[in-house]
Amino acid sequence: MIDRNNLKIRPIIGLEIHVQLATKSKMFCSCPVEFGAEPNSNVCPVCLGMPGVLPVMNRSAVEYAIRTAIALNCQIAGFTKWDRKSYYYPDLPKNYQISQYDLPLSFDGSFDVPTGEGQTRRVGIIRAHLEEDAGKNIHDNPSITQVDLNRTGTPLLEIVTEPDLQSADEAFTFCTELQRLVTYLGVSEGSMQKGQMRFEPNVNVIIEYEGLEYRTPISEVKNLNSFKAVRSAIAYEIERQVNDWIADRDYVIDKRPKENRGWNDEKGITEFQRGKEEAHDYRYFPDPDLVPVAIDETWLEKIKASVGELPVNRQKRMKHEYALSEADVVTILHDKASADLFEAAAGMGHAVTLGKQFISFWSAKANELKCTIAELGIDTDRMGELSKITAEGKINATAAAQIAEMMFDRPDPPFKIAVDQGLVQVKDENQMQVWVDEAFTANQKAVKDAIGNPKKQKQARGFLAGQVMKISGGKADPKIVGKLIEEKLTGMDSN
Ligand code: ZN
Ligand code: MN
């Protein structure tokens, strides 16, 4: 038996991704694209594949696809056409899917994926083409299968990468970055819950053993619908393939066919579905009902102008412009609407303070309500003003968090709330001295520790400051409080 520890393993991973485009209507008919509608309510003779009907291309879908392809550094075809991919399945009423075969809309691109510590992995994009989705088989009732054709004909962008990814984590990051890209471009909602992004990794490994290289057969894991499943399925596949090779040295690419496998989320394993012998022959041929698409320079320039700032560039710019940490800028850029809100509010408020408030109470509130910060519905002016009055010292950080909470119930400007609630910071040193004295009298033990106990000094001083803030009802200026506490302690120390 070969010892696993003597092997050098290099995973080779490529991805095939289907992204649902955010058009109002379907790819080749005017039926609405709508999630959660009554089954088979958004259908017509075209998407049901009735004889004699004529499909008409959705121009927005083509523009969304080209916008994405540009962002993925792809070449855009000047001329592209539609092909029929034939197969039989209950969720495909026409018995063929309209797709693109030999002349895809775009090809030869790349996408840079951060791999940590400022490094990136450049992943080649082989092609990105348009096609229509199939319907959905429903197995809710164990004795029958039902078919919902609402999804039939929904526009999909299929993106195929080169096998450039080298770990499950890299593939995970690729998928999350792609989601951020398509949502920033406004071409897809990118919702996992609604099945708008589906992933199919191709995985095999190069095993180095006693100076020789062995390649395991490629397996394709079908239809993953979460980032977590992508990472888990790839990690599982890498280990499975190495173990299968250890058990059978003929488990190599030249001697075994490519496999299709399915991910069993409950068991955390992939399961064999079919080998190459049974692979489909799709009998592709040009769709005679659809005219080819010519993409001229004028059209292309117009779409290029709609691409906007890409999330990766925006991240770099905002990090510098607002002096944010890498982690904070990622939080703020979570979704485009929240990032837009941040920049607009920063313009009328105080950017650095807003950054802190964004990642503390605003994002905590969004997490609590399971929405984005933009979806909290706090308008730009008030969010900006809150950061401004905090930065100017009119209120302290604790009061800011309290006011933020109240802003959900009151439409008033934050400063008005501060005045009404008596949260405007007291700058009067005499008043603060009274509070400090009061806190010292009430907490003799902490005072003793703050002077005499080197181990507890820092903690005790922090405790005293907290007590002063409490006595002041959150109105004291923490900076001045800190100063007064130090002065008082120094005075006592020398006694
Ligand atoms: Zn239709
Ligand atoms: Mn496809």
18 CA to middle of ligand 2, Å? 7
The mean of the pLDDT values for the chain is 94
Q: How confident is the model at residue 267 (pLDDT cuts 50, 70, 90)?
A: very high
153 CA to middle of ligand 1, Å? 7
First and final CA of the chain: distance in angstroms? 78
304 CA to middle of ligand 1, Å? 30
145 CA to middle of ligand 2, Å? 23
Write out the DSSP string of 261-281. EEEETTTTEEEEEEEGGG---
Averaged pLDDT for residues 110-116 = 92
Residue type, 218: I
pLDDT one-digit tens code per residue, 398-410: 899 999 999 999 9
Averaged pLDDT for residues 113-130 = 93
Ligand nearest to the CA of 32: 1
Whether the pLDDT of residue 23 is over 60: the answer is yes
Ligand nearest to the CA of 156: 2
Whether the pLDDT of residue 116 is over 90: the answer is no
> What is this structure's pTM?
0.85
CB atoms within 10 A of CB 151: 23
182 CA to middle of ligand 2, Å? 18
61 CA to middle of ligand 1, Å? 15
Whether the pLDDT of residue 494 is over 70: the answer is no
Task: Answer for the pair 78, 295: CB distance below 8 angstroms, yes or no.
Answer: yes
Task: Answer for the pair 217, 253: CB distance below 8 angstroms, yes or no.
Answer: yes
3-state class of 60 per DSSP? helix
Whether the pLDDT of residue 369 is over 90: the answer is yes
What are the domain boundaries of the chain?
Answer: 4-293, 309-420, 429-494
pLDDT score, position 294: 96
486 CA to middle of ligand 2, Å? 68
pLDDT score, position 275: 74
Averaged pLDDT for residues 407-436 = 92
Range scoring the smallest mean pLDDT among 335-349, 374-388, 447-461: 447-461
Ligand nearest to the CA of 160: 2
pLDDT one-digit tens code per residue, 370-408: 999 999 999 999 999 999 999 998 999 989 999 999 999
CA-atom Rg of the chain in angstroms: 30
Assigned CATH for 429-494: 1.10.10.410
164 CA to middle of ligand 2, Å? 20
Range scoring the smallest mean pLDDT among 80-84, 277-281, 331-335: 277-281
Whether the pLDDT of residue 147 is over 70: the answer is yes
33 CA to middle of ligand 1, Å? 9
250: left (phi over 0), alpha (psi -120 to 50) or beta: alpha
- Residue bearing the bigger pLDDT, 385 or 427: 385
Ligand nearest to the CA of 45: 1
**Distance, C-alpha 331 to centroid of its chain:** 10
89 CA to middle of ligand 1, Å? 18
Averaged pLDDT for residues 197-215 = 97
177 CA to middle of ligand 2, Å? 20
Ligand nearest to the CA of 155: 2
**Distance, C-alpha 138 to centroid of its chain:** 28
Beta strands in 216-304 (DSSP E): 219-222, 259-264, 269-275, 285-286, 293-294
Averaged pLDDT for residues 182-207 = 96
Task: Answer for the pair 343, 317: CB distance below 8 angstroms, yes or no.
Answer: no
256 CA to middle of ligand 2, Å? 25
Ligand nearest to the CA of 97: 2
Ligand nearest to the CA of 20: 2
pLDDT one-digit tens code per residue, 288-297: 999 999 999 9
